[in-house]
Structure 1
C-alpha cells in the first residue's frame, strides 16, 4: 500500500460510516441509523443532518491523517509517525499524507 491508497481507504471508511448512519433498510442497521430514524425528520432535515455529520467525519478523518503525517497535532502533541503495514513495509514516514488527504477530503478526488 502506498500513501495515496492509505488516505483513500480512510476516505472510503468515512463514506461507509456516513452511509451506514442513514441506512434504514439493512437488517444490520447501526445504532446511529436507528437513532436518526427515531427523530422522525423530514427529507430536508435528514439532508441537513447528513451534511453536518459528513462535515464532522471529514474534519475528523482529515485531522487524524494530518496528525499521523506530522502536519497537525493529536491532542497536545505534534510529531510525525512512520506507518508500516502488517508485513513491515513502510507506507508513510511523514509529509507523505497531507497532499493526498487534502485531495480526498476537500473534493479534488
Structure 2
C-alpha cells in the first residue's frame, strides 16, 4: 500500500461513516442513523446535517493523518510515526501523508 492509498482508505472510511449515519433502510442500522431519524428532519435539514458531519469528519481524519505524519500534535504530543502494512512494507516514514491528506480532505 502506498501513502496515497493509505490516505484514500481514510477518505473512503469517512464516506462510509456518512453513508451509514444517514441510512434509514438497512436491517443493520447504526445508533447514529437511528438518532438522526428520531430528529424528524426535513430533506433540507438532513442535507445540512450531512454537510456538517462531512466537515467534522474531514477535519478529524485530516488531523489524525497529519498527526501520524508528524505535522501536528495528537492530543498534546507531536511525534512522527513510521507506518508499515501487515507485510512490513513501508507506507509512510513521516512527511508522506500531508499532501495526500490535503488533496483528499480539502480539495475533493
TM category (shorter chain) comes to: over 0.9
TM-score, scaled relative to structure 1: 0.97
Q: How does 1:55-74 map to 2 (within 5 A)?
A: 55-74=55-74
Structure 2: tracts of 5 or more residues without a match:
none
Aligned to 2:2: 2
Deviation, 1:88, is 1.0
Any unmatched runs of 5+ in structure 1?
none
**TM superposition shift of 1:87:** 1.1
**Paired residue secondary structure (2:91):** strand
C-alpha separation in 1, matches of 2:86 and 2:55? 31
Aligned to 2:89: 89
Distance 1:51 1:30 in 2: 18
Q: Counterparts of 1:54 and 1:105 in 2: how far apart (Å)? A: 10
Tell me the distance in 2 between the aligned counterparts of 1:54 and 1:104. 12
> Structure 1 CA distance, aligned partners of 2:107 and 2:21?
21
Shift of 1:107: 2.0
How far does the alpha carbon of each residue in 1:24-70 deviate from its partner, in whole angstroms, 9 at most, with x for none? Answer: 01111111000000000111110111111111111000000000000
- The aligned runs of 1:28-107 (5 Å cut-off) are 28-107=28-107
Matched residue of 1:78: which SS? coil
TM-score normalised by the chain length of structure 2: 0.98
Deviation of 1:89 after TM superposition, in Å, equals: 1.0
Equivalent residue for 1:22?
22
